Amino acid sequence: MSRTPLWTAIAEDLRSAIAAGRYREGMQLPTEAELSSRFGVNRHTVRRALAELGHEGLVISRRGAGVFVAGKPPLDYAIGRRVRFHANLASEGRVSGRKVLALTERRADEAEARALRIAEGAMVHVREGVSFADDQPLAVYRSVFPAERLPGIGAALARGTSITEALAACGVGDYVRVETRLTAKRANAFQALHLLIREGDPILRSVSVNADASGAPVEYGHTWFAGDRVTLTVAPD
């Protein structure tokens, strides 16, 4: 009588656990040692099972970190003149989310003043947070707004509205992206914590300036995207 190979049975057990949600997207599976002990087999057999799940696209192995449940394919995120986070995700069939980490008022530094075309030391409002796609952290962001040019922007941001809604509350009915700079970076400890990745993992940094209909800058933004969760597409609207 034929017997099911042990690695096949282990793979099926783990496959069922993933399907049942016991191991969710981004979660780390037990280590090879833990799985070997649990199933009473050697590590070679466990590796064969994990390799099969990897071939199926269910898990991803990260050198030095372990094996993780794979997420969805990278999000195709368009960077055009009129970029709206919610609309971008909706076009891909994804649900957007946002978590505000900090909302502060302070004086602009040199780079912020230059980008916003205000005096260095002028007051700005800063909102920092995390953007989500289907409950998975996609990016960490920091947006800086000129206080004098946008009276009431601090209160609008404090209400937890989107940036588009906050700007509309200040009389900016439309705005466009006038500059974008993309750079490959490595995640620092803060970014890794909120993106659920390891410190040093690759990320994509976007630095942008958005302006109102008159051309006056209304937002200077930094966004750090998890490198393996997004594909940035640069195209005119």
Structural domain includes residue 1: no
Residue 237, pLDDT score:
60
- Note the pTM of the prediction, 2 decimals: 0.73
Say whether both 17 and 85 belong to one domain: no
Say whether both 98 and 136 belong to one domain: yes
Q: Give ∠ CA 236-164-196 in degrees, rounded to 5.
A: 85
What is the domain-level CATH number for residue 81? 3.40.1410.10
Mean pLDDT, rounded, of the chain: 89
Say whether both 153 and 216 belong to one domain: yes
Q: Could you read off the pLDDT of 47-78 as tens digits, one per residue?
A: 999 999 988 878 888 777 788 888 777 788 88
Print burial letters for 169-178: b (CB count within 10 Å at least 16), e (below 16): bbebeebebe
Task: Tell me how far apart the alpha carbons of residues 209 and 32 are, in angstroms, rounded to a whole number.
Answer: 47
Q: Which domain holds residue 185?
A: 75-234
- DSSP assigned state of 197: S
Which of 59-63, 94-98, 112-116 has the highest mean predicted lDDT (pLDDT)? 112-116
Residue 88, pLDDT score:
78
Say whether both 90 and 65 belong to one domain: no
Does the pLDDT at position 43 exceed 90?
Answer: yes
